[in-house]
Amino acid sequence: MIPGYLPFLAPQADRDAIIAEHHRRRQWAEQDKKGFLRYRQPAARLARFPARHVDCRGPEVVIGRADELDEQQRRQVEDDLRRFMPWRKGPFAVFGTAIDAEWQSDRKWQRLAAALPDLEGKIIADVGCNNGYYMFRMTAAKPRMVLGFEPTIQHFYCFSALNAMARRDELHIDLLGVEHLPWFSLSFDVIFLLGIIYHRPSPVQTLRDILGALRPGGTAIVESQAIPGDDPVALFPADTYAKVPGTWFVPTGPCLVNWMRKAGFAEVELFCSHPMSDEEQRRTPWMTFESYSDFLHPDDPGRTREGYPAPWRVFVRGRKKG
């Protein structure tokens, strides 16, 4: 099966590579093993409940009203939604079930919204889209197509379930990662890279790949975990940072700006930076594992458990010349 987003891509995109990887990853995801069935089965059950009312304009993405289902159906929906725990991004309200995710993601969306280009009619990529919260929020601006890159089975099936109910035809997802961007040459007007860059061993090359996937004049929105400071430097943790493995370089805001410029972006702007807090990232009944407060040093909240500076978030925008 050819992915539905393929007709939206530029002629320069490597369609053969995309189709081959799409088929390979789908076959992998459709294995009849416990680790795959635990998400695929509830996604299939939830897909039987298309919503009549969908509203993506507010902080809470609303998919269906409570009165669209009977009590037994609502209990079934809530039970299947809980099978996707832990919920990292949100909030959502699905047929009356309120999902309070770990991140109050509307706060980040509001920071982004002030710096976004016009998304109407645009072809957009959200790289590392998780359960698609930001993709749903984008639909209010009427983009032509949004493709979520998400290699994680849990998040892939969670988004698939949500969109089967929401039926936003402009939204697509594939089990791809940031490393597959070179196949999408000149294909996107806007690319979001939110919370990914510090997990990449070669951040400047990743940004060059984003630049190559943008159309001339396109915009990249890059958000990263960061350390505070005005010097253009990055922390290179010995093992974990804030108890998170797979963290390579944690930049300051000026360092991320320099990465963007050296990757070839023009009009690079650091448009927001702020310290993280347990008001925005915290445990909830839908995410019961460790969260932000557990990542800090017990005797010094200005430091991580490892003794590094406590994390900030930084937001940078850059444009491809065209």
Q: Which tens digits make up the pLDDT trace of 56-73? A: 999 999 999 999 999 999
- For 92, the enclosing helix (H) or strand (E) is strand 92-94
Q: Which amino acid is at 23?
A: H
Give me the domain span that covers residue 158: 10-319
In the prediction, which pLDDT does 214 show?
A: 98
Closest to 316 (Cα-Cα) out of 275, 274, 268, 276 = 268
Q: Is the pTM of this model over 0.85?
A: yes
In a domain, 1, yes or no: no
Confidence bin at 183 (pLDDT 50/70/90): very high
Q: Which of 138, 191, 195 is nearest to 314 (CA)?
A: 195
What is the Cα–Cα distance from 230 to 214, expressed in whole angstroms? 29
pLDDT above 90 covers a percentage of the chain that reads 99
What's at 60, amino acid-wise? Answer: E
pLDDT attached to residue 70: 98
- Contact indicator for 308, 240 with CB cutoff of 8 Å: no
Distance set, CA 181 to CA 134, 159, 206, 239 (Å)? 19, 20, 9, 27
CATH number reported for the structural domain that contains residue 128 in this entry = 3.40.50.150
According to DSSP, the β-strands at 188-194 and 214-226 are parallel
Confidence of residue 242 (pLDDT cuts 50, 70, 90): very high
Average pLDDT over residues 18-33: 97
4 found inside a domain: no
Count CB-CB contacts under 10 A for residue 170.
17
Please check whether residue 277 lies inside any domain of the structure.
yes
Q: In this structure, what are the phi and psi dihedrals at residue 108, rounded to the nearest 5 degrees?
A: -65, -40
State the pLDDT at residue 1.
Answer: 78
pLDDT of 219 reads 98
If one counts the domains in the chain, the total is 1
Q: How far apart are CA 20 and CA 283, in angstroms?
A: 39
Confidence of residue 181 (pLDDT cuts 50, 70, 90): very high
Tokens describing residue 107 = 């706060």
84 CA to centre of own chain = 16
Identify the band that residue 5 occupies on the pLDDT scale cut at 50, 70 and 90. Answer: very high
| Residue 2: inside a domain | no
143: closest CA among 125, 127, 158? Answer: 125
Overall average pLDDT of the 230-237 stretch: 98
173, part of any domain: yes
Indicate the pLDDT class of residue 10, thresholds 50, 70 and 90: very high
Q: Is 56 helix (H, G, I), strand (E, B) or coil?
A: coil
Q: Sign of the CA dihedral 237, 238, 244, 249?
A: positive
Question: Cα–Cα distance between 165 and 168 in angstroms, integer?
Answer: 9
pLDDT for position 83 = 98
Instruction: Please check whether residue 219 lies inside any domain of the structure.
Output: yes
Asked if residues 60 and 91 have their Cβ atoms less than 8 Å apart, the reply is yes
Q: For residue 21, what is the enclosing H or E element?
A: helix 15-29
| % of the chain surpassing 70 pLDDT | 100
Mean pLDDT over each residue of the chain, to the nearest integer: 98
Q: What is the pLDDT of residues 118-131, one digit of tens each?
A: 999 999 999 999 99
Distance CA 263, CA 259 (A): 6
On whether residue 5 sits in a domain, the answer given is: no
Q: Which residue(s) pair with 103 in the sheet?
A: 281
Neighbour count for residue 58 (Cβ, 10 Å): 12
For residues 269-280, average pLDDT: 97
DSSP category for residue 12? T
